[in-house]
Amino acid sequence: MSESYPFATYSGLLEPKHYKRINKALWFFLWCISSTTKEKMDDDGVTWGLVLGGKPMKLSDLADPFEVNDKTVSRWIDILEEHHYIQVIRAPYGLIIEVRNSKKYKNRSDNNVLSEVREQTKLSDHSTIDQTEMSDHTDRNVRSNKDIIKTLSSSSDSEQHQIIDELEFKRRAKEVEDYFIIKRNSGFDINYDDEKAIRQAIADGIPVETIKSGIDKSFEKYTPKHRLDRIRTFTYCAPAIYDAWVKEKAITEPLEPVALGSITENVPSEPVALGKTSYRSKQQKELDELDRLIAEEERKLGTSRSS
């Protein structure tokens, strides 16, 4: 890193248990703490620190300051996620990292926070593009999702995604939230898991109308077990939404031509061992996470019914 600056953290992080859990990922976690410029609190009272204000970042940009490759920083992120030090929203345009139980701005005045944010954004390392843009405007680097929430061409699947700014992103998320609350016909807000799932769906590029259609189908197919049984969470509707999206893409996206002989040429020469773990795409991981949230919600519902 080009310049050094002080930042606050708690000495408890130096306890051996943390290094035993996350090993060298501790250095990346410290960078996340130092790069936190905003905080928010979820419905459970947990404070989350937004790294660079919630700016989406590519693996290459995260790896550069540590002089490691993308795989190394990706492994660090997985470790920190596994042990609940951070949570990550994955989207085609980058990673949005949030630090769990952030205490960076605890018991500080707003003026001190603003001063630290400005100083930090001036000194933090960013990509080459950001460095050329921050010469005279220190606050331009902490742009949250404004002008940054761009869906770029994904290197893994070469999908083309629509470019949207922060205001449009929030507008779509709010439209989906309002639609679900009306459809649910109870309450006036949603929980944090639902908020995260909606943001993830928007970040994945799912059209709002497709999300609404998935919500409608979920309610149409749902059969209450008794008069108090109903759909309470957006995460319950998520599988139907992603199923509808996959079907839409299969219809609208043209098939690539297959060259003669390409099918046999791509057949592996060595047999695949039974039980061998296959590679899971990012989209599959996201769907698995949504399945986990749904299972957790159903477990809670089952517990409440039995009691």
User: What separation in angstroms does the CA of 103 have from each of 11, 82, 201, 224?
Assistant: 12, 21, 29, 43
Can you give the pLDDT at residue 212? 94
Can you give the pLDDT at residue 149? 41
Where does 84-165 have alpha helices with state H?
110-123, 128-133
101: which 2 tokens? 């139980």
Number of structural domains (the chain) is: 2
144: which 2 tokens? 């949250």
CB contact burial 143-180 (16+ within 10 A = b; e otherwise): bbbeebbbbeebeeeeeebeebeeeebeebbeebbebb
Does residue 258 sit within a domain? no
Does residue 62 sit within a domain? yes
One domain for residues 286 and 182: yes
- The alpha carbon torsion through 299, 303, 304, 307 (nearest 10 deg) reads 170
Does residue 56 sit within a domain? yes
Query: In terms of residues, how long is the chain?
Result: 307
One domain for residues 64 and 99: yes
Reference 13, options 1, 2, 3, 21; nearest CA is: 21
One domain for residues 132 and 178: no
One domain for residues 116 and 174: no
User: What separation in angstroms does the CA of 237 have from each of 84, 101, 176, 223, 283?
Assistant: 25, 29, 12, 14, 17
Name the domain boundary from 140, 157, 184. 140
Does residue 146 sit within a domain? no
| Paired residues of 150 in beta bridges | 163
* Cβ count within 10 A of residue 287: 17
Does residue 188 sit within a domain? yes
Residues near 85 by beta carbon (within 8 Å), at least 6 away in sequence: 22, 29, 99, 100
Residues near 146 by beta carbon (within 8 Å), at least 6 away in sequence: 165, 166, 167
CATH code of the domain covering residue 125: 1.10.10.10
Can you give the pLDDT at residue 147? 38
295: which 2 tokens? 């299972």
Can you give the pLDDT at residue 234? 94
The 3-class SS string of 187-250 reads CCCCCHHHHHHHHHHHHCCCCHHHHHHHHHHHHHHCCCCCCCCCCCCHHHCHHHHHHHHHHHHH
Residues near 11 by beta carbon (within 8 Å), at least 6 away in sequence: none
3-state SS class at 50: strand
One domain for residues 104 and 197: no
Can you give the pLDDT at residue 294? 78
Can you give the pLDDT at residue 139? 40
The 3-class SS string of 249-293 reads HHHHCCCCCCCCCHHHHCCCCCCCCCCCCCCCCHHHHHHHHHHHH
User: For residue 298, what are the domain limits?
Assistant: 166-253+281-306
Per-residue pLDDT tens listing for the chain (307 residues): 456 777 777 778 888 888 888 888 999 999 999 888 888 888 888 889 899 888 888 998 899 888 899 999 999 999 999 999 999 988 777 899 999 988 877 654 444 444 444 444 444 444 434 443 433 443 433 334 443 343 333 333 433 344 457 788 888 999 999 999 988 888 778 888 899 999 999 988 899 999 999 999 999 998 888 988 889 999 999 999 999 999 888 877 665 555 555 444 555 555 545 444 445 566 677 777 777 877 777 777 666 555 5
Does residue 3 sit within a domain? no
